[in-house]
Structure 1
Amino acid sequence: MRTALAAAVATAGLLGTGLAPGAQAAADNPYERGPAPSNSSIEASRGSYAVSQTSVSSLSVSGFGGGTVYYPTSTADGTFGAVVISPGFTAYQSSIAWLGPRLASQGFVVFTIDTNTTLDQPDSRGRQLLSALDYLTQSSSVRNRIDSSRLGVMGHSMGGGGTLEAAKSRTSLKAAIPLTGWNTDKTWPELKTPTLVVGADGDTVASVSSHSEPFYESLPSSLNKAYLELNGATHFTPNTSNTTIAKYSISWLKRFIDNDTRYEQFLCPLPRPSLTIEEYRGNCPHT
């Protein structure tokens, strides 16, 4: 009886403020987008948002090589956080294109870019990621759909190394995800951006022992950080649709770009080894 009375009082309080019970979380965090998540919703090939896309010609921009913007079609939920993604060495945006609609359908504006040349090194790719973010938020046709205070970067291989460079240069970024990243710099104690390092157990190009693991271990202990090592994977696993990469990337971006604590459940307690996860490290709970 006491429990029922308490529930009735709580509901009455919500109704008194004009809020339905399900709207309270959104009122507490105005950046939440989309319905309450579940394992099935973040593992699905598409989220709850219909997605549109627009091409950006390299001739119309400076500082990077153009690309494709994927974004939620509806504007009913207001603005969204944004993520720019760089391909790897000798690669084009097509190699990471699958991430565009997959992430955008979960409630982000996503920009998969080409680089100035396919041979650009990580420091250059880092600058290009930031140039693309500036274009996206200041000049692009979707700039009014973006909250420019909630931005992140991702990248594969050299683009992963560039992701770390970008986060080092722009400490205001909310999330960084290097995917089987490559960089001659192995230590990143300067980073202030929540970082999810993704490696692959079978990577012979940027082995986890000489790249992803040192990257992760060098991050400040006080930083929100995680290390996901994919099981049965190679350096090029991020180039094709991958549920494990998508699941934890979505969770990381939601948690730190949107400050959406509904996604904490997928990151803490730490995921256990499985058919697709060789190892997962991190600091929990996140702050």
Structure 2
Amino acid sequence: MQHHPHTSAASGESHRPSGAPRRGRPRRFAGVAAAIAAVVGLSTLTSPGAHAADNPYERGPAPTTASIEALRGPYAVSQTTVSSLAVTGFGGGTIYYPTSTSDGTFGAVAISPGFTALQSSIAWLGPRLASQGFVVFTIDTNTTLDQPDSRGEQLLAALDYLTQRSSVRNRIDSSRLGVMGHSMGGGGSLEAAKSRPSLQAAIPLTPWNLDKTWPEVRTPTLIFGADGDTIAPVSSHAEPFYSSLPSSLDRAYLELNNATHFAPNTSDTTIAKYSISWLKRFIDNDTRYEQFLCPLPRPSLTIEEYRGNCPHNS
């Protein structure tokens, strides 16, 4: 993919060495430019988010392939445990969040495990996503046998707890929320998006649901399937789910190559890099991550197939 020089939103200039004159321009202009740059720099220090004047939700440095594939992003992460006894509507869980408050609030994501599983099965996503600049809530369900519709309701209950009652509620922008889930939890993330169109992103991971059509969904949705899934085969789950989403919606389908239904239960770079890109692109409106989603990724050792719409709408 051709790399385009990053343009600073604050200055409108491509990055050059500080104070470097343009070729052929008299040096006295370089001094004037440096003085202006200094004033602009001072103004950005006094106005939060001014480093991304056109997008106040942008968080973290400009991304690279290495940064989205890394086990940890630029933010140090703290975590807190939420007892099932302290909440209603779901089974408690663990909140992972950027330790620093200097960048303001963050978007948030709730993640549900699958049938018979505990939050430990999707725990790796907590610090991996939070370190990129999100508050992440990996939840336990009321019972491990809860069906997708119940898991969808529980994801929404978890988001409500996160934004209204949790100890980190002041770190969260409650208008920028998303859901993820594995297996029946992935089916639940579709249920949650259907019920709450204000959600900014949904990422079902090898999802399972008896409902095969989702024309009501208005939330940008990235569905992961696995070519070797025998529990929720892509032909009867992930693929029809994707195909039934409105064609006008920002949507994508990534089929993992040489993978099983349980691929989301262990640290997976392909799941992480495209989940991070999708959450950044649609929860944070951060177009710096568009490069990883459009043009559509090609088949590779880890990607069997990728479908989606490009460029994205919003």
1:270 aligns with 2:280: no
Which one of the candidate residues 247, 256, 260 is aligned to 1:221?
247
Q: Map 1:112-131 to 2 at 5 A.
A: 112-131=138-157
Task: Kindly indicate whether residue 192 of structure 2 is the aligned counterpart of residue 166 of structure 1.
Answer: yes
Aligned residue runs from structure 1 range 2-17, under 5 A? 17=40
- Kindly tell me: are residues 4 and 128 of structure 1, through their superposed partners in 2, closer, same or farther at Cα, counting changes over 3 Å? farther
Q: 1:143 to 1:12 in 2, by over 3 A?
A: same
TM-score, normalised on structure 1? 0.95
Offset, 1:28: 1.2
The answer to whether the 8 A contact 2:67-2:73 is kept is yes
- How far 1:26 sits from its partner (Å)? 1.0
- Please, which runs of 5 or more residues in structure 1 have no aligned partner? none
SS at match of 1:106: coil
- Select 1:102's aligned residue among 128, 131, 134: 128
Change (3 A) 1:207 1:4: farther
Normalization by structure 2: what TM-score?
0.87
Per the alignment, residue 30 of structure 1 pairs with 56
CA distance in structure 2 between the aligned counterparts of 1:226 and 1:153, rounded to whole angstroms:
15
Distance 1:66 1:34 in 2: 29
Q: 1:13 Cα deviation (Å)?
A: 6.3
- After superposing on structure 2, the runs of 4+ consecutive aligned residues of structure 1 that deviate more than 3 Å are 1-5, 7-20
Retained in 1: the 8 A contact 2:225–2:256?
yes
RMSD: 1.8
Aligned-partner Cα distance in 2 for 1:210–1:244: 23
In 2: Cα distance, 1:19 partner to 1:11 partner: 14
Aligned to 2:166: 140
| Secondary structure of 2:264 counterpart | helix
User: Is 1:154 the counterpart of 2:185 in the alignment?
Assistant: no
Corresponding residue SS for 1:208? coil
Are residue 237 (structure 1) and residue 263 (structure 2) matched?
Answer: yes
| Amino acid aligned to 1:199 | G
Q: Give 1:84's aligned amino acid.
A: A
Structure 1 residues 212 and 145, CA, compared in 2 at 3 Å: closer, same or farther?
same
Select which of 276, 286, 289 maps to 1:250.
276
Change (3 A) 1:13 1:157: same
Partner residue, 1:260: 286
Judge conservation of contact 2:97–2:131 (CA < 8 Å) in 1: yes
Higher Cα radius of gyration: 2
Q: Which protein has greater RCO, CA pairs closer than 8 Å, 6+ apart?
A: 1
Distance 1:214 1:25, change over 3 A: farther
Please list every run of 5 or more consecutive structure 2 residues that lacks an aligned counterpart in the other structure: 1-20
Residue identity over aligned pairs, in percent, reads 82
CA distance in 2, matches of 1:235, 1:185: 18
Number of paired residues? 284
User: 1:68 aligns to what SS in structure 2?
Assistant: strand
Q: Deviations over 1:88-139 (max 9, x none)?
A: 0000000000000000000000000000000000000000000000000000
- C-alpha change, 1:46 and 1:3, in structure 2 (3 Å) is same
